[in-house]
A = this chain, B = another copy of it.
Amino acid sequence: MTITITAFERSPDGGKGLARDTRVRWALEEVRQPYEVRLVSFRAMKEPAHLALHPFGQIPTYEEGDLALFETGAIVFHIAERHPGLLPDDANARARAITWMFAALNTVEPPILELVTAKIFEADKPWCEARLPLVKDRVRSRLNPLAARLGDADWLDGAFSAGDLMMVSVLLRLRPSGLLDEFPTLAAYVARGEARPAYQRAFAAQLAVNAAQPPAG
């Protein structure tokens, strides 16, 4: 059955790979499943046809036969569950890999999202500059224990898993801030993720959509 995902017609980041379809593309590349992409404009994202697929009016979505999913974490998990390559066979190791997926999305990403919001959507506010150090410290309060746990290992728990895919994707959003470089072992961890051939193919595919156009406003 054909897998179809949605992505921005014009990504806000102009192809830097930070839009969330990249996470889904990466997962599909890791398990070597072909997929089609339907591009969605900002206007279409808020119209009934797309809202029926994604109640929050975002991308990506995932369609395969009569299954329709939204929410990146759920889509990556669905792919990881159906195809070998992203979750260990051992039951306990599998549960721990899933734990890292949730940790990436619910413990590490929220303060990173707050930093993105503070820098982009509150850039014109009088408090922006004074508040940024607080927000950055909240991000560091997640990166410090994450770096401690990773230690000098390549991945968070044994072999590369969907948990690493998600954590690397979440940490990638930090690169423009310079915060990632404060944690050399985490920066190296992210670089290992980016060096994977599957990530390279996913990145190139999203860039091909966006490279031809200027970033959306």
Chain A positions near chain B (C-beta within 8 angstroms): 51, 55-58, 66-67, 69-74, 77-78, 91-92, 95-96, 98-99, 101-103, 105-107, 109-110, 113-114, 117, 121-122, 125-127, 130-131, 134, 138, 142, 145-146, 148-149
A41 to chain B, nearest CB (A): 18
Q: How far apart sit A92 and B81, CA to CA, in the bound complex (Å)?
A: 13
- Whether the Cβ atoms of B92 and A77 lie closer than 8 Å is no
- Whether the Cβ atoms of A102 and B77 lie closer than 8 Å is yes
A57 to chain B, nearest CB (A): 6
A77 contacts across to B, CB distance below 8 A = 98, 102
A107 contacts across to B, CB distance below 8 A = 56, 58, 71
- Whether the Cβ atoms of A127 and B117 lie closer than 8 Å is no
Which of B56, B67, B106 is close to A95, meaning CB atoms less than 8 Å apart? B67
- Whether the Cβ atoms of A55 and B146 lie closer than 8 Å is yes
A134 contacts across to B, CB distance below 8 A = 121-122, 125
A130 contacts across to B, CB distance below 8 A = 127
Question: In the complex, what residue of chain B is closest to A52 when comparing beta carbons?
Answer: B149
Q: How far apart sit A193 and B135, CA to CA, in the bound complex (Å)?
A: 33
